[in-house]
């Protein structure tokens, strides 16, 4: 895929939609520019959310046993 972008007087560019979609980036995401010999490579900077490890922790689904199982587990953890 070859695409062009115009640089503004402030040094800004608009990344074409097809490129943004291919990179999986959206507004607010960061791009990293790396020198590779005489060329430059552009890639998204993927940062892991600090909350990712907690995603879904409080959801009482069919495997959790519901509220009673959660309360039982909390009591066990507290030694009661």
The ranges assigned to domains in the chain are 1-47, 48-80
Please choose, from the candidates 51, 13, 56, the residue with its C-alpha nearest in 3D space to the C-alpha of residue 31. 13
Residue 76 CA to residue 69 CA, distance in Å, equals 10
Residue 5's pLDDT is what? Answer: 92
Whether domain 1-47 has CATH 2.40.50.100: the reply is no
- pLDDT, tens digit (0-9, with 9 covering 90-100), for 18-58: 999 999 888 888 999 999 999 999 999 987 777 777 777 76
DSSP 3-state of 47: coil
Residue 31's pLDDT is what? Answer: 93
Q: What does the angle CA 75 – CA 67 – CA 49 come to, to the nearest 5 degrees?
A: 90
């Amino acid at each position: 895929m070859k695409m062009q972008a115009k640089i503004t007087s402030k040094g800004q560019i608009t990344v074409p939609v097809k490129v943004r979609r291919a990179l999986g980036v959206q507004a607010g995401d960061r791009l990293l520019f790396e020198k590779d010999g005489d060329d430059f490579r552009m890639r998204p900077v993927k940062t892991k959310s600090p909350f990712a490890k907690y995603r879904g922790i409080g959801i009482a689904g069919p495997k959790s046993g519901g509220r009673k199982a959660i309360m039982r587990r909390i009591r066990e953890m507290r030694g009661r």
